[in-house]
Amino acid sequence: IISLIDRFQKSLLSIAKKNIDVIMPGYTHLQQAQPILFSHYLLAYYEMLKRDKQRLLDCYKRANVMPLGSGALAGTTFPIDRESTAKLLGFDDVTKNSLDAVSDRDFIIEFLSAASIIIMHLSRMSEELIIWSSSEFGFIELPDAFCTGSSMMPQKKNPDVPELVRGKTGRIYGHLISLLVAMKGLPLAYNKDMQEDKEPLFDTVDTIKASLEIFSEMIKGLKLDTKRIESSMADGLILATDVADYLVQKGVPFRSSHEIVGKIVSYCFKEKKALTSITLSEWKRFSPDFKEDILNFASLEKAVERRNHIGGTAKKQVLKRIREIEAGD
């Protein structure tokens, strides 16, 4: 699974580098919020997957402990050297309590929890790919091999793979919950209920591996409609926060600047004007603190580049992070 995550991360990195200059809307509540680089968006998932790998490796530490010698619950009467056996079999350690060893299914529950987070990340990305490939957005086009047409409607191109991965997320969650429920009331040592751990574990492994593998291939063929993305931000209202920040830099308290910019946004709606097309005299109608530099301040490119700090969306920072990743971080 970790090697498949590595592969998916490499696919994300490749697409990010190819589209390093593409600016897209960043969303909160599915409403346009602030402009970001598309590459910054992809690297967000890279970081999620990095944490997923860390969780799996941490889970492995507790799974790779040898229970052999615990017997039914009290240990064994045979003269065995558990530590030598563990070393020969490749375990990092031995269990320290025979009753705990035969009672334990934490290592499976912990893996199912880590797997649930992995599939949750894939599901969130699936949702965005589904939305962005819709005719209403049209930001991206998924490769034909990962979509199907409709048996009735010839104009349709349905995002089957993201929908299936999104659907399988509930299946993985169900496996985690089913084992938690099975274990919640069991007295210590073995009970036949614990036989129910096999299906959730094996199906989760198969589902996670298949989902990661197909996502790695699908993302490689992702196409962006940059004109459609640009046109979605044509009214410039996505820069409203930057304008509020501009006033703060001029000494206006943020509460006041927020109110002023809110009135400007209402004005743009009423007059059907783009924020970026407002003249200096119009700016000054709302506040005398607007100076001539506001005319160059309100632009998508400058808004992105102003976020020039560790973790920010500025191109310089995104390229720096890519270099760090390629160097082994």
Residues known to be catalytic: 29, 150
Q: Which amino acid is at 141?
A: E
CA distance 19 to 36: 12
Which phi-psi region, left, alpha or beta, contains residue 312 (left: φ > 0; alpha: ψ -120 to 50)? beta
Q: Which two structure tokens, joined as six digits, stand for 266?
A: 């209402």
Q: Which residues contact 174 (CB under 8 A, 6 or more apart)?
A: none
CA distance 110 to 121: 17
Compute the C-alpha angle 253/254/255, nearest 5°: 95
Compute the C-alpha angle 103/109/112, nearest 5°: 155
H-type alpha helices, the chain? 2-18, 38-63, 82-89, 98-103, 106-132, 160-183, 198-220, 226-231, 240-249, 254-271, 280-286, 294-297, 300-306, 315-326
178-188: burial string, b at 16+ Cβ within 10 Å, e else: ebeebbeeeee
CA distance 21 to 26: 15
Q: Which two structure tokens, joined as six digits, stand for 115?
A: 């797997």
Q: Is 310 exposed, middle or buried (0-12, 13-18, 19+ CB in 10 A)?
A: exposed
Q: Is 33 exposed, middle or buried (0-12, 13-18, 19+ CB in 10 A)?
A: middle
